[in-house]
Amino acid sequence: MKRRDLILGSGAAIAGASILAPGAALSAGAIALPDDLATERLITVTAVKTRRRVVALTFDDGPHPVHTPQLLDMLKARRIRATFYVIGRNVARYPDIVKRMVDEGHEIGNHTWRHPFLSKLGKASVLRELDRTSEAIYKAVQRIPVTMRPPYGAMTRSQRQMVAAERDMPTILWSVDPEDWRRPGSDVVARRILSGAAPGAIILSHDIHGPTIRAMPATLDGLRAQGFRFQTVSMILGHRDWTKLRWRLPRVVAAKN
Ligand SMILES: [Zn+2]
């Protein structure tokens, strides 16, 4: 069963072919590979084409027991929403942090169970990585993620098409990468994000590194000083707040196709 079968009510707009609303301020050049046009299904997103000064902050690889709560404090103090691409086994370990994310308005995305190179895995293994993670997220917050991000950005085009077809999850990449995992220092991370930010940008960083967290006050305040507002990934794609969506029980997600 595909995930769109699980969607209730008006939340259906989040999934399937309708994910690109007619007339939405999106264009293929900025957001997608040519496949998206051919299939009318959103498959791969690196940024959103818009003139509005909005960005989506995304944080990968958490939750981390120390760093993530510190980041959540910083976001909360500024009333900023972000999207967390969480690793499933970390969700199982720290479900309370994921619950806090959702309670404070953030979006949760699927970043696989054990962070493998998906491009080296077969279809069944890829889906298992995603389904196990969606189930852990559902267990923690009673919501199912509506987008995914492959570890290392590593997924083949046919795999991205497969995940879109089988799970209605677009693959969310990024347009701004401060390479914070190389630990260049907080100042450099902040400077790279501030200089890379543009309307519709999707900004990548990792909430498991202390220097990244310490870069955030200057980054967040700097982006705001540049006139940027902050939206979650679903919101910047033109959808409603993902927490307002209602879903059926998650076990169906893992049912055999
Ligand atoms: Zn990652």
Q: From residue 138, how far is each of 45, 60, 69, 102, 246 by CA, in Å?
A: 24, 18, 20, 11, 12
Confirm if 91 and 85 have CB atoms less than 8 A apart.
Answer: no
| Stretch 142-148: mean pLDDT | 93
Query: In this predicted structure, what is the pLDDT of residue 36?
Result: 45
Query: In this predicted structure, what is the pLDDT of residue 245?
Result: 56
Neighbouring residues of 201: CB distance < 8 A, sequence distance ≥ 6: 47, 55, 56, 175, 176
Is 218 inside a domain boundary? yes
| Stretch 172-192: mean pLDDT | 97
Is 256 inside a domain boundary? no
CA of 27 to the centre of ligand 1 (A): 27
The CATH number of whichever domain residue 91 belongs to comes to: 3.20.20.370
Is 72 inside a domain boundary? yes
Query: In this predicted structure, what is the pLDDT of residue 103?
Result: 94
* Domains held by the chain: number: 1
> What are the catalytic residues?
60, 206
CA of 151 to the centre of ligand 1 (A): 4
DSSP label at 199? T
| Stretch 88-116: mean pLDDT | 97
SS3 59: strand
pTM (two decimals): 0.82
Residue 18 confidence (pLDDT) above 50: no
CA of 229 to the centre of ligand 1 (A): 25
**pLDDT-based confidence at 238, cuts 50/70/90?**
confident
Is 95 inside a domain boundary? yes
Is 90 inside a domain boundary? yes
Domain span at residue 68 reads 3-20+33-246
CB count within 10 Å of CB 3 equals 23
Is 28 inside a domain boundary? no
Query: In this predicted structure, what is the pLDDT of residue 41?
Result: 67
CA of 245 to the centre of ligand 1 (A): 26
At residue 178, φ and ψ (nearest 5 deg) are -80, 0
The type of residue at 246 is R
| Stretch 166-179: mean pLDDT | 95
Is 255 inside a domain boundary? no
Average pLDDT of the chain to the nearest whole number: 84
Q: Pick the residue with more confidence: 57 or 13? A: 57
Residue 116 confidence (pLDDT) above 80: yes
CA of 204 to the centre of ligand 1 (A): 10
Strands 54-60 and 229-230: parallel
Residue 119 confidence (pLDDT) above 90: yes
Is 253 inside a domain boundary? no
Query: In this predicted structure, what is the pLDDT of residue 250?
Result: 37
CA of 117 to the centre of ligand 1 (A): 10
CA of 8 to the centre of ligand 1 (A): 30
